[in-house]
Amino acid sequence: GLTFIPVIIFFASSPELASAASITLGETTTLPSGDNGNGDLLIAQSAVLTQTATIESLSFYVTTAGGNLRLGIYDATVPSGGPGAKRAETASFTPATGWNTQPVITPASLDPGSYWITYLPSSNTLAFVKTEDTSSSGRYYSFAYGTMPTTFSTAPNTTASHWSFYATLSTAPAETTPPSTPTNLTATPVSSS
């Protein structure tokens, strides 16, 4: 006897995906001055986003690896325009020499406006690069290494430094709807055997 084995072929149509562009927010160049000794400090540098985009990853330049590192982004919702509520952060990672790019745990859509990208090193031996100028407006305060707080301190210290540190965002809207179940499916046997 012959055994019938059905072969099912699914035909489903889907809309074209929107094309996404990547943009950066922050300092993408390798700056000239060395910096270290910031273990257990939550440090923020200001940046301006000019269009709606979804935060995908954060990148930080390291000259000497040491300890662990977390990166994040806060909005500027406090009355002074300083760091306010956390919008996204990376998982803890062990940095390497050079650019360290880490995805955020949960991508978030950000409206145009002012933001603060933040880094939190666990060790004073971690070294990186910065520049100092009066147009920079960094903020920092003592914070034990771990998950970044949901809100930044309302009374941080200030610094005229900023670092080789940036965020990468996608201009396509974040995908929040799961795919729908296909309909109008057909199955056609390839042959009777």
Model confidence pLDDT, tens digit, residues 52-69 = 999 999 999 999 999 999
Compute the half-sphere exposure of residue 46: CA atoms within 13 Å on the CB side of its CA. 19
For residue range 150-186, list pLDDT tens digits in order: 999 999 999 999 899 999 999 975 555 677 777 777 7
Sign of CA dihedral 138, 141, 144, 149: negative
Q: How many CB atoms lie within 10 A of CB 42?
A: 25
Q: Looking at residue 190, what is its pLDDT?
A: 74
- Cα-flanking dihedrals φ and ψ of residue 92, to 5°? -65, 140
Q: What is the pTM of this model?
A: 0.79
pLDDT score for 15: 42
**Which tokens go with 128?**
């990186």
Mean pLDDT of the chain: 87
pLDDT digits (tens, 9 = 90+) for 98-157: 999 999 999 999 999 999 999 999 999 999 999 987 666 799 999 999 999 999 999 999
Integer angstrom CA distances of residue 28 from 19, 37, 99, 149, 164: 24, 22, 10, 26, 6
CB 148 within 8 A of CB 72: yes
Q: What is the arithmetic mean of pLDDT over 26-41?
A: 95
67-90 confidence digits (pLDDT tens)? 999 999 999 999 889 999 999 999
- In the chain, the N- to C-terminal Cα span, in Å, equals 10
- For the record, the structure tokens of 75 come out as 């909005």
Would you state the structure tokens that stand for residue 150, as one six-digit string? Answer: 């949901």
Distance CA 46, CA 139 (A): 9
Local structure of residue 178 (DSSP, 8 states): P
Tell me 134's DSSP state: T
